[in-house]
Amino acid sequence: MNALMVAAVLLVLVALAYQVGLVRSRRVAGDAPDVRMHSRPGYHGLLAVLRAAVPAAVVYVVWRAVGGPLIDGMVLGSIPVDQLPAEAFQRQALLQRITNLASGFGVLGDAKGFEQAAAETMARLQGTGQAIVAAAMATAAAAGLAWTWRSTTPATRARNQVERAVQIALIACSTVAILTTVGIVLSMLGEALNFFRIVSPADFFFGTTWNPRFQTVDGAAQTGFGMLPLMAGTLMIAGIAMLVAVPLGLMTAIYLSEYAPTPRAPGSSPSSRCWPASRPSSTASSPWSRSALSSTGWATCWGWRSVPRRRSPPAS
């Protein structure tokens, strides 16, 4: 049972569960036309997917995490003690040879008798494990579908449960992203501390030579790691880019906001006569740009009409 087959089975299970939830909710609504359903049929279908497909996927993930080491341990236990290597890496190499024999890839040289027997044991255990996992996934999915079929009522809060599940999934994704960022920062911090044990921080931050070379003899200090040349080059490139981009971008924004005519084609719609996408948002949000917007006919172009201010009558 490879990953592609499992993905296809889960997709079929998702479609089946959604249809079961949809049909059940519509049948319940038809049986009680005077009672208003709390959630729409689509939410009942999504709830059925959560109850059927998610447990089946969890069963498969647990098997992928636990089944491999369990089978490897049973295979190593079936090998005679006198043929089992003492070192851990030698056991891993032997286990890889047995895995190749069990999968039919073959190995270099002639396989020994105990390796052939271990490969047969591994193939048998893998087949048994896949059958057990398939049965467990089918049982979990069937239990979820039966639960959905029996518990669907007009008062079932399917929308709340689906939204809660989506919220939990988003929180989990955010947590993974945060933990990944923290791990990256910690790994960089550890490498930075190791680097500054070799290179002096003063030489790195205030050195004027960038020619990194590690010396491995005489215990001499490492030189050529000055950061100032890199900083100077970065600032020079940024300054040249700003000299070109700032005047050109500012002039373009002022022209488009204050002086460019509004193109009006005969018979065109208001949306085609306007060009709001070319106007910078920074200039559009300023007070003088809003005044220019109304004075050049933008309000009329977009269907806005200025309402004259009502003046109070003169005092008698």
HSE value, Cβ hemisphere, 13 Å, CA-based, for 282:
5
Per DSSP, the three-state class of 212 is: strand
* pLDDT surpasses 90 at 175: yes
Of the two residues 243 and 34, the one the predictor is more confident about is 243
Question: Rounded to an integer, what distance in angstroms lies between the CA atom of residue 20 and that of residue 101?
Answer: 44
The position carrying tokens 């030189």 is 223
DSSP 8-state secondary structure symbol assigned to residue 2: -
Strand positions, DSSP E, 215-276 = 223-225
The pLDDT of residue 106: 65
Structure tokens at 170: 């988003």
Poorest-confidence range of 175-179, 199-203, 299-303? 299-303
Q: What is the pTM of this model?
A: 0.57
Report the pLDDT value the prediction gives residue 109, as an integer from 0 to 100. Answer: 65
Give the tens place of pLDDT for each residue, 52-80: 888 998 999 998 888 888 888 888 888 88
Q: What is the token pair recorded at 248?
A: 């050109």
State the residue for tokens 């990256």: 184
Count Cβ atoms below 10 Å from residue 116 Cβ, excluding itself. 13
Summary mean pLDDT of the chain: 80
CA pair distance 263, 27, nearest whole angstrom: 57
